[in-house]
Each structure stands twice: as structure tokens, then as C-alpha cells.
Amino acid sequence: MLKRKNYWLLFAILLLSLTSLSPSMDLNQTDDSPALNEYQSQSQSSSPRKKGEPAHLRISVSLSYKEFRELQKISGHYALSSGVTVELNNLGEAAGDDALMNELTIGNRPDIVMTETHHIRELAQQGYLLPVDVYRSSPGGTPLTPLLPLLQWNGYVWGMPLDIDPYVFVYSPKVMEELGAEALPRTVDQWNRLLEHSLAKPGTYVLAMDAGSAYGVSALLESVSSSLFRGNREALDWIGRARSSIYLADKQDKGVWNMLREGKIAAAVLPLSEWQKSGGGDLVAEAPWRGDAAGDETLYSRSFALSAQTRSPEAAADWLSYITSARSQLDWLAGTGRLPAAEEPYRGGLPGGDSLPFDVGSLLTGGADQTGEPQADWSEITSAAGLLLTGKLDAAGFIKALSYSPEGEDHGL
């Protein structure tokens, strides 16, 4: 009898031990659910929309007046067909990162936010977003291949892109010829020769770019078959030597166009949309990338994302799928002139695609090899680019800030 009691006691102890060592026994968890962080946990613990309660979506965007009117139009079609109430809040075209963070924390706490696609992963890692693919019932448009790595993190998709605005080189062939160049430079040696001719002509800049973004530095690196992810040390050193001959503009500086036409700037790195509005005629545009594939580092893009504070994630994800669908993307192109961020319009024959300064097929293939991808997020990359252009960082400091190994040093070149 004593032995039998001992056996039962041992069995009970063994059962308790197995239970304590098996966290996967939690029936409330599923293999498809990502680990929750602070803001995502707050979303799960906040009072969700009750069953049967009509969905009401609050969406914060940063658009021009014309773009906002077009979004209202497309979103209105969704509201009529779904019965979901949609409240759009435009923070203004010039709204920056601070305005977005205010919305996500102490502001209106919208269900959906718009942000630059390069910031999606950063916001997801900080816990401000929910994964889109967990909640959506329909896929929407297929994001362009170069954008895919920017939308993914930890095995999930965290954003859905609305449009793209590639950065391009803009120049006057006549001015370029006067400066001894037959075409846009495509090697560091060619950029060196253009720099020498520009310095020999007082009041002439070899290049113009925006110091407030990383796209100018990215375009220069791509023009010599490199990238931010494979930083060419020789090209970065060239920026240091050419710094006095680089005109630092901003998005509001309209004088760049006259300077290009007057021969005071050899070439400028500008958004495609700006060239389409102010260029043409004697000014041509040329894509920075070479070969068949575009890199994401010169593709400015805007995306929508699910806020971790949303009370209606399924309805919000459904709105995202509708707005970024192939049909809506074509409507957006027609109403705003902004290029789609989904593959389907390009594969079906993009309206006006023949007039673009690059082959649209380059947007449908994989980007450049990202060996040595920096550990820094896009905000840190942007800051480092500005410091490089203003002389507060040299090439070595820029490389260190991005925490990567430049080609030619650790890659055995």
C-alpha cells in the first residue's frame, strides 16, 4: 500500500514538471501570431470593437490638397460598397516624422497611418504597427519587388505601398557637353573629370541634391554601380573632394531649374514628379540605376500601415487592400500622376509608361545584391547622409555610422 502511494506521488510530481516545461500548451497562442510588444499589447488590451458594431476608421495621411481630394474620392467608393465609415485626416504635405509620431502616441491614434516606406520596418520594430498580413482577407496589389524588403520584418508584412516617386538625374545635354562630358558620368573617373571642368568654370556646381534626404547620395552611388548597402569607398571619398561644388537644395528650392538651364549646375538629383512638372524641353532625366533592376535606395515611396492602437484591424486591413488594389492604383495615377507601387499596372501596360526615363521592367525585378546591408535604420542613414554632404562626416565616418563593410575592404575586392 505504501509503495502504491509512492508511485502516485511520483506520477503527480512528473506531471507537474512536464506542465511547467511546456509553454506551448497555452491554447490561447497560435503559430500564426507574432510576438507582441508594448504598443501592440496595449492594442490587444484596449477595448476592441464589439461584434455587430459598425466599423469607423480614422486614417491620418500627409498629402497635397489635390492628392487628398483624390484619396477622398477613392475611399468614398470603398465606404459606399462596404458600409464602413472612413474619417480621413490630412496632416499636410509638409508634415514630418514628428507629426506622425504624435499621431501614433498622443494624437488622434488613428487606425491607419501613412509614412515613407523606408520607415515601415523601423516603426514595426518599435511596436507602433500591427502586421497587415495577419488581418487582411484579400491581398490587394502585389508590391513592386524592390519594395518588398522594406515592408517585411520578423516574417510578417507591416505596410502596403501606395505609390513611388523615383529619384533621377536631371541635366542639360548641352551644358554637359560644354563641361567636357558626352553623357551622364557612370564611373568615379568620369565624375572626377566633370568635377575638374566644373571647378574650372567659376560659379558652376558639379551636382545638386537635397541634404535632407539620403536619396542624393544613393543616386550617386548607384550611378557608379554601387549602393548605400554596398558603399563604394572611392565614390564616398569623391563626395568629400567635391563638397564645395555640390549645391545643397531642398524640396522648396525652385531656383535649381533655372541654374540647370543656365549651366550653373551640371546635374541634379530630383524626384521624377518634379522633373515631370518643371523639366522637359532642354532638360532630360536619367535613372541612377544601371542594368535591369532598380534598387530601393532611390525609390521614394509612401505606404499605409496598421496602427497598433486600431480597434478594427480587420476592417482597416480591408480598406488597405482596396486602396492599394490594381484598379485603385490606376485611379490614383490618373488623378495625381504618381506612379503605382503595385506590379499589376506595369504588367498590364502602364498608361504613359513609354514616356518614363527608364524601362518599367526594372521595377519588376529584384534589386541589387544587399551584401553588407547597414544595421542603421533609415532615419539614421538620412542623418548620416546629411552630415557627409555638409562635411561633418568623412567617408570613414559615414561607413561607421551605417555599420557596414564597404566594398573593396571586407568583400575581398
Q: For the stretch 68-77, what's the b/e string if a residue is b when 16 or more beta carbons lie within 10 angstroms of its beta carbon?
A: bebbeebbee
Cα–Cα distance for residue pair 313/356, rounded to 1 Å: 37
pLDDT in tens, the chain (413 residues): 444 444 444 444 444 443 443 333 232 333 344 555 544 554 444 455 555 556 899 999 999 999 999 999 999 999 999 999 999 999 988 877 778 888 888 777 899 999 999 999 999 999 999 999 999 887 778 999 999 999 999 999 999 999 999 999 999 999 999 999 999 999 999 999 999 999 999 999 999 999 889 999 999 999 998 888 677 899 999 999 999 999 998 777 889 999 999 999 999 999 999 999 987 779 999 999 977 788 889 999 999 999 999 999 999 999 999 999 999 999 999 999 999 999 999 998 999 999 999 999 999 986 544 444 557 889 999 999 999 999 999 999 998 888 754 444 433 32
Non-local CB neighbours of 403 within 8 Å, separated by 6+ positions = 374, 375, 376
- What is the value of pTM for the model shown? 0.85
Please give the Cα distance from 102 to 176 (Å, whole number): 45
Residue 85 neighbours by CB distance under 10 Å? 12
Task: Give the residue among 126, 166, 149, 360 at the shortest CA–CA distance from 276.
Answer: 166
Specify whether the CB–CB gap between 305 and 120 falls below 8 A.
yes
What is the residue extent of each domain of the chain? 44-165+300-355, 173-282+374-402
Q: Is 173-282+374-402 in the same CATH topology as 44-165+300-355?
A: yes
Q: With contact defined as beta carbons under 8 Å apart, do 182 and 155 qualify?
A: no
Which architecture, in CATH terms, is 173-282+374-402? 3-Layer(aba) Sandwich (3.40)
> SS3 for 310?
coil
- Measured CA to CA, the distance from residue 388 to residue 385 in angstroms comes to 5
Model pLDDT, residue 35: 54
Can you give the pLDDT at residue 190?
Answer: 97
The pLDDT of residue 375: 72
d(CA 117, CA 301): 5
Q: Which residues, listed in sequence order, are joined to residue 61 by a DSSP beta bridge?
A: 90
44-165+300-355 is a CATH 2.30.30.60 domain? no
Paired residues of 208 in beta bridges: 247, 268
